[in-house]
């Protein structure tokens, strides 16, 4: 029970704290519950609790004075107008109780005003040793004004951020962080509306992956053209020294048939073998053959003739697999290839920036073998916050992240492209424990972005 109360306080879920106490008679009549009700200003519950009750043996330790006089005070406050309650507050009498009672009453009647809260703020700041009191006050007013009047979030009420920041160091840390961000979000909306900082608009398009099929060159050029919404975009490319005429069964898992087969053939294939795992189960020999990559040497000179590409990195796939002792039959071997190649691209971009004495403002990551039909612009990039990443959660991937495309400001994209580096440095973390092997694809990416506090924003097609 105590653990549940602690967790609810951590999340600033005061309704749940109250529900937990109410379910336990002993706890409902405890000193700590009375203190909790006092700090959140729940006078009605205190009156109900004290009715027809003898003075508890712990009462003298509460510093509330005479038990029966305190009960009479509760009755008096409940029938008092705001002016009289403010008089109690100014005299320093029962400040947490009075403040949270009067703001809760104002919220209940939809009449709480910004000026009234501003007047109360110095008393809230002064009583910082009542952490539950402060937390409840912050939560109630932020929730209320974010719905009723966003003009509340302004310079005059900005000291709320001071209180929230100080609460980061209490046991209610997570709730304070959530409401710090909520206040700032509303403050930004009220102060700046739709304004965003403009940038020099320097954009790098990073393309990594294997060249597939006889028309790989045409496909690559189409990908580049898809992102030519700005003529100044620079292209960086990583690929392997082979072009793949047959790519194996594509990726780590899932519906291989839907990925690889034409619609006419797709309709005729039994659903029992459309998934890689099922195909291997029913037809292991066929699976073994189909899952093999068939490739020929890539004509690197053709890549070097594409003028718009600033840097081309071509590596030997076999050398890579040997260097890192990667097993080709591993279901997730392509995941290792993806994140290795992404990191090489990032290093290439950083080197190019150093050589030319500038930094890109935005980075886009794409594959060379997909068709991109998206509504994209520099203006959309400039609306992204520093930790925003244009990347899609996918229902078919159980909420994992699709790695076919990502875009964002340089800082967020540097984190995204550095998964390989962080895998090497953090083998103590579960999803990196087998590095340079990985045990998932889309789940891994979602967990990594979550750990790095990346906000994933869906790009509309």
Q: Could you give the angle at which helices 95-108 and 82-90 cross, rounded to 10 degrees?
A: 160
Of the given ranges (57-71, 210-224, 383-397, 416-430), which has the lowest mean pLDDT? 57-71
The set of residues, in sequence order, having a beta carbon less than 8 Å from that of 181 and lying 6+ positions away, is none
388 Rama class: left (phi>0) / alpha (psi -120 to 50) / beta: beta
- The answer on pLDDT for 413 being more than 70 is yes
- The answer on pLDDT for 92 being more than 60 is yes
Backbone dihedral angles phi then psi of residue 188, each to the nearest 5 degrees: -65, -40
**Residue 25 pLDDT:** 66
Percent with pLDDT over 90 in the chain? 58
What is d(CA 442, CA 430) in angstroms, rounded to the nearest whole number? 15
- The answer on pLDDT for 349 being more than 90 is yes
At residue 45 the predicted structure's pLDDT band, cuts being 50, 70 and 90, is: very high
DSSP strand pairing (405-409 vs 362-366)? antiparallel
- The answer on pLDDT for 340 being more than 70 is yes
- The answer on pLDDT for 29 being more than 80 is no
| 364 contacts 205 by C-beta, under 8 angstroms | yes
Q: What is the mean pLDDT of residues 397-415?
A: 91
Q: What is the mean pLDDT of residues 421-448?
A: 94
pLDDT in tens, 276-307: 778 888 888 988 888 777 878 888 888 888 88
Mean pLDDT over each residue of the chain, to the nearest integer: 89
Task: Write down the residue that tokens 């990443």 correspond to.
Answer: 389
Q: What is the mean pLDDT of residues 86-101?
A: 95
The tokens for 72 are: 């009479």
At residue 213 the predicted structure's pLDDT band, cuts being 50, 70 and 90, is: confident
Q: Is the peptide bond before 436 cis (omega within 30 degrees of 0)?
A: yes
What is d(CA 54, CA 46) in angstroms, rounded to the nearest whole number? 14
Burial status of residue 13 (CB atoms within 10 A of its CB: 0-12, 13-18, 19 or more): middle
- The answer on pLDDT for 461 being more than 60 is no
Domain boundaries, the chain: 2-192, 203-240+298-457, 249-291
Torsion sign over Cα 76, 79, 81, 82: positive
| 196 contacts 362 by C-beta, under 8 angstroms | no
- The answer on pLDDT for 127 being more than 70 is yes
Of the given ranges (139-148, 285-294, 437-446), which has the lowest mean pLDDT? 285-294
**Residue 168 pLDDT:** 67
Highest mean pLDDT pick, 260-264, 268-272, 452-456: 452-456
| 352 contacts 403 by C-beta, under 8 angstroms | no
End-to-end CA distance of the chain: 48
CATH topology of domain 203-240+298-457: Spore Coat Polysaccharide Biosynthesis Protein SpsA; Chain A (3.90.550)
E runs forming strands in 152-193: none
Q: Could you give the angle at which helices 131-148 and 31-40 cross, rounded to 10 degrees?
A: 40
**Residue 250 pLDDT:** 61
b/e code 377-409 from CB counts within 10 Å (16+ = b) = ebebbeebeebbbbbbeeeebeebbbbebbbbb
What is d(CA 346, CA 355) in angstroms, rounded to the nearest whole number? 14
**Residue 440 pLDDT:** 87
Of the given ranges (30-34, 103-107, 348-352, 417-421), which has the lowest mean pLDDT? 30-34
What is d(CA 102, CA 107) in angstroms, rounded to the nearest whole number? 9
Higher-scoring residue by pLDDT: 277, 200: 200
- The answer on pLDDT for 130 being more than 60 is yes
- The answer on pLDDT for 118 being more than 70 is yes
Per DSSP, helices labelled H in 41-172 are 43-50, 67-78, 82-90, 95-108, 114-126, 131-148, 159-167
- The answer on pLDDT for 375 being more than 90 is no
- The answer on pLDDT for 183 being more than 80 is yes
Higher-scoring residue by pLDDT: 144, 198: 144
**Residue 196 pLDDT:** 80
Highest mean pLDDT pick, 21-25, 119-123, 172-176, 307-311: 119-123
């Amino acid at each position: 029970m105590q653990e549940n109360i602690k967790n609810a306080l951590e999340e600033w879920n005061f309704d749940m704290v109250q529900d937990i106490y109410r379910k336990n008679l002993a706890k409902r009549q405890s000193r700590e519950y009375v203190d909790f009700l006092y700090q959140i200003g729940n006078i009605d519950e205190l009156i109900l609790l004290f009715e027809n009750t003898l003075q508890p043996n712990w009462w003298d330790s509460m510093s509330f004075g005479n038990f029966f006089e305190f009960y009479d005070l509760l009755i008096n406050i409940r029938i008092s107008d705001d002016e009289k309650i403010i008089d109690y507050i100014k005299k320093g009498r029962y400040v947490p109780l009075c403040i949270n009672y009067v703001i809760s009453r104002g919220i209940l009647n939809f009449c709480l005003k910004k000026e009234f809260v501003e007047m109360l703020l110095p008393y809230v700041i002064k009583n910082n040793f009542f952490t539950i009191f402060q937390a409840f006050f912050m939560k109630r007013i932020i929730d209320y004004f974010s719905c009723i009047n966003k003009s509340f979030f302004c310079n005059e009420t900005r000291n709320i951020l001071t209180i929230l920041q100080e609460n980061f160091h209490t046991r209610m840390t997570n709730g304070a962080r959530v409401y710090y961000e909520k206040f700032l979000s509303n403050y930004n909306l009220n102060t700046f509306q739709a304004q965003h900082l403009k940038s020099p608009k320097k954009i790098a398009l990073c393309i990594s992956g294997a060249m597939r099929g006889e028309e790989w060159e045409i496909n690559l050029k189409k990908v580049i053209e898809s992102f030519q919404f700005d003529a100044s975009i620079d292209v960086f490319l990583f690929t392997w020294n082979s072009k793949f005429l047959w790519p194996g069964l594509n990726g780590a898992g899932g519906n291989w048939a839907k990925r690889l087969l034409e619609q006419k053939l797709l309709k005729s294939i039994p659903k029992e073998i459309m998934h890689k795992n099922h195909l291997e189960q029913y037809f292991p020999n066929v699976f073994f053959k189909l899952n093999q990559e068939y490739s020929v040497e890539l004509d690197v000179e053709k890549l070097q003739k594409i003028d718009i590409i600033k840097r081309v990195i071509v590596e030997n796939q076999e050398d890579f697999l040997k260097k890192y002792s990667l097993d080709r039959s591993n279901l997730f071997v392509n995941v290792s290839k993806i994140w290795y190649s992404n990191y090489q691209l990032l290093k290439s971009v950083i080197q190019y920036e150093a050589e030319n004495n500038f930094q890109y403002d935005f980075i886009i990551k794409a594959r060379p073998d997909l068709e991109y039909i998206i509504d994209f612009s520099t203006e959309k990039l400039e609306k992204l916050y520093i930790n925003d990443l244009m990347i899609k959660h996918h229902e078919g991937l159980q909420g994992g992240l699709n790695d076919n495309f990502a875009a964002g400001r340089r800082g967020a994209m540097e984190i995204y492209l550095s998964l390989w580096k962080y895998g090497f440095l953090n083998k103590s973390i579960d999803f990196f424990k087998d590095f340079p092997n990985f045990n998932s694809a889309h789940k891994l990416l979602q967990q990594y972005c979550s750990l790095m506090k990346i906000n994933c924003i869906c790009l509309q097609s």
